[in-house]
Chain A
Amino acid sequence: MTKVSMNVNGKKVSRDVPDETLLSDFLREKLRLTGTHVGCDTSQCGACVVHVNGKAVKSCTTLAVSLEGAEVTTIEGLANGKELHPMQVAFNDNHGLQCGFCTPGMIMTSVDMVARYKAEGRKLTSDLIRQELEGNICRCTGYHNIVKSIEDASAKM
């Protein structure tokens, strides 16, 4: 057991956890933030993506104890109170989700994607969005409306 403290969605949290605890388990089981999902065991589906220190990471492939002092944002912390993040709005506006299971990781990846491109001053095209979604698998939407959602939000972020 190791005590780990981090800042999750703007709140300081500390928990004693076994060293092998993955960030996804830490969030789901210790903090009961169950919006972060686990859809595979080979780090490919991306349902578990959260932001750590401003970067998208796969929480299923990150040890919680390695994140002492880190800033973590999960899907539950994306909205500003009742006001949804433009990416959350865009997924609703463009029917970018069906069963909702991949959606938290999809949205967290998309927010990171748009932010990176904006920071680098690069234009995000639909082809690039598709490439950037390499690490996020959706079985419901055929991606059409996910790509549209990201294009839409990108214009508003």
Chain B
Amino acid sequence: MTTGIGNPVKRKEDRRFTTGRGRYTDDVRNDNQAYAAFVRSPHAHARVKSIDTKAALAMEGVIDVLNGKQLTGDGIGNLICGWAISSKDGSPMNMGAWSALATEKVRYVGDAVAVVIAETQALARIAAEAVEVDYETLPVAASLTAAMAKGAPQIHDNAPGNLIYDWGLGDEAAADAGLKAAKHVTTLDLTNNRLSPNPMEPRSAVASYDAAEEHYTLYTTSQNPHVARLVLSAFYNVAPEHKLRVIAPDVGGGFGSKIYIYPEEITCLWASMKTNRSVKWTSDRSEAFLTDMHGRDHVTTAQMGFDENGKITGFKVDTIANLGAYMSLFSSSVPTYLYAPLMSGQYDIQNIYCNVRAVYTNTVPVDAYRGAGRPEAAYLVERMMETAARELNMDPAELRRRNFVQSFPHQTPVLMAYDAGDFPKLLDMAQKSADVAGFPARKAEAAKRGKLRGLGYSTFIEACGLAPSKAAGSLGAGVGLWESAEVRVNPVGSIEVLTGSHSHGQGHETTFAQIVAERFDIPVENVSIVHGDTDKVQFGMGTYGSRSAPVGMSAVVKAMDKVEAKVKKIAAHALEASEDDLVIEGGAVKVKGTDKQMLWHEVGLAAYTAHNLPDGMEPGLKETAFFDPVNFSFPSGAFICEVEVDPDTGVTEIVQFVAADDFGTIINPMIVEGQVHGGVAQGIGQAMMEQVVYDDNGQLLTGSYMDYTMPRAADLPFYKVSHQVTPSPNNPLGVKGCGEAGAIGAPPAVINAITDAIGNNHLNMPATAHAVWQAIRAGKSAMAAE
């Protein structure tokens, strides 16, 4: 078996992508295609006094110009945040109204107020400029500082002081006591930079309305088409679920930004009914920077206490999270339940308290981006450990080892029960791979060349496969977090797997097929994976939070259990054997110890001809399963980054990046390594290059690739990736999820390495050459002052 679990099977989906035959949303063109362009606010905060559409409507080829009053007048509901978070005092979060097209007020630059539908995309864009909107500008709060200042502009009337919630997790008194008892307390002030996810495929939507059937079809760039259909139907009243088909075909990357249901999709669906045309909207990159949900953007102060042996005695965190102008779909959960429960890291910490305030600003909404909350936690915990080690004059690896969790399951004081791992061994593996022992010699050699060499660690924990539904529900989640699967064995024995997971780069068409090939011992080519269409797959929760393997694949396993049971019943009946004596191998169902067998396709045929089935058995061979895990899975990693800094320019080169991960069982090592590479690249991007910047007026300064730095090939190294396997007991395959590890673990490793190299710990992300140069100079003047 070379195609089953654990094999680096080459991707089945690649042929269409390498030959230009992928089918992405913008590739769809209907016969009656019209094009939408949005009229967007140039102001970060303003009242909409009037909208004059006459000039635009007069242009030849303009079909209609629609506004927010018409939209709400047709009963289209406001966008919602689907996870309810309550403040410490029990009050609910202050969710402000968000209409797909703003009616009264605009709250960020790019907020849509109207849409032009025209015969061509170029014309729609030109006509959108001809729509005259009379704005009354209002004072702007573009930063956390401005939004939290006394007398700050009020962004939503129901959120006094722009505060969305003031939430806490853990035991504050215990954390205080732990800090008080400490021999040494390390304090850090950190900023987690604001990022734009930037999947290479811009968002797109093609909506059509069939007046005869009163039925809508939406092609869209979504990571979770079923959730999109549910939300569009149940909350935005676009159409009842059975009258709406959502298709997410090939999707060119997501990284979180394509989880959410955006104003543009709602508007296109509604406009297709209004105009009786198929309506297409495709974002360009500039529009993506203005409107795709951003990620991260925290400001944190934290203290960690240590006893005389370097054991952590207490950890207290105070975070302010910028959620932008509106609460996006999962925005509330990111700085709370996806963040604070990770504060224990890989360490046995008894006393933890984390306080989080979420705040509105006049900027693009902020939601989950690859890692979502967990990178913020890992960055804080791992910079804290490295900083403490320097202050305690200890080896940073040794300080970590003294605090590692040693046995599993491990219950932290912040909700989580870690499933499995071996943190010391993982760090051993990373240290060996990085040749940490040889570092002093490499540093000395670099110094001879005038370069500052540094080494930084990150030993981090993740929580993936968000679950279980019941627990998530009790914490405020508006949806269940299970996954569904349907396994169809055709009469010829080939298999179709319908999954609610969605692949937008992850390679599910290969890896999901591998688990089926392994189970039934048939060629991987005979298995096809169907996903991304609500008319084909009954329901699914989609792909995010590294959940496709631990949750999505587990549902497939459950469905295969049922298929196997039926297959054995059919074969046992036909072969006149006991089910217990049957094995499935070599493309057949065999009676152990005999030469009696039924070929796999014969079983399939038997199920459908139904000529010789056990009494009472229904014909057919198709089984469905829903899987709701008992817990999260907890991948862990040990990353070691080594850098060389040019002190003349601040330019930092990553000379080595080691990633040792524990993802539990690995289905396809080639794909897993690819996920690590991509995640680490995004982590390095956050650490050294990327940042969304607004000026005080809320104007976006990083509105294109001319100013927002995307990591390029020459910025990045080859990565040294290795694995250790401690299977998760929380799902049948023992998998943990691998999609986010790189983005979670890399930033602190990089910054710990750079600060080690330059000898100044005061360095925020992104550590651009400019920032590093300034930190070197500041470090020198600080030393001179002492």
Contacts and interface: CB of A to CB of B under 8 A. Distances in A.
B253 interface: yes
Contact of A145 (B24, B677, B714): B677
B199 A99 contact: yes
A89 to B, nearest CB: 8
Contacts of B679: 142
B510 to A, nearest CB: 10
Interface stretch (B6-14, B308-316, B436-444, B753-761): B6-14
A84 interface: yes
Interface stretch (B72-80, B482-490, B500-508): B500-508
A97 B716 contact: no
Interface string B463-479: 00000000000000000
B19 A142 contact: no
A1 to B, nearest CB: 13
Interface residues of B, number: 57
* B contacts with A: majority SS: loop
A140 B505 CA distance: 7
Contacts, number: 180
B19 A134 contact: no
B17 A78 contact: no
Contacts of B694: none
Given A91-B18, A98-B253, A130 B705 contact: no
Interface stretch (A51-59, A63-71, A101-109, A117-125): A101-109
Q: Which of B16, B285, B673, B712 is most buried by chain A, counting CB atoms within 10 A of its CB?
A: B712
What is the interface residue range for chain A against chain B? 35 or more
B646 to A, nearest CB: 17
A33 interface: yes
Contacts of A129: 713
Nearest to B705: A44
A99 B15 contact: no
A29 B507 CA distance: 29
Contacts of A20: 122
B18 A92 contact: yes
Interface in B653-685: 670-671, 673-674, 677-682
Given A39-B202, A133-B714, A140 B253 contact: yes
B19 A99 contact: no
A75 B201 contact: no
Interface string B12-54: 0111111111111011010000000000000000000000000
Contacts of A139: 198-200, 253, 255, 678, 682, 710
Q: Identify the 5 closest CB pairs spanning chains A and B, nearest first.
A: A35-B20, A101-B252, A100-B17, A142-B681, A99-B505
Interface of A: 18, 20, 28-29, 32-42, 44-45, 47, 74-76, 78-79, 84, 88, 91-93, 95, 97-104, 107, 126-127, 129-131, 133-134, 136-147
24 contacts: A28-B27, A35-B22, A37-B200, A38-B202, A39-B285, A40-B704, A75-B19, A78-B19, A92-B11, A102-B252, A130-B713, A133-B712, A136-B713, A137-B710, A137-B712, A139-B198, A139-B199, A139-B682, A139-B710, A140-B505, A140-B674, A142-B680, A144-B677, A144-B718
Given A139-B678, A142-B742, 12 more contacts: A38-B202, A99-B253, A100-B18, A100-B505, A101-B199, A130-B714, A133-B714, A137-B710, A137-B712, A142-B677, A144-B716, A146-B713
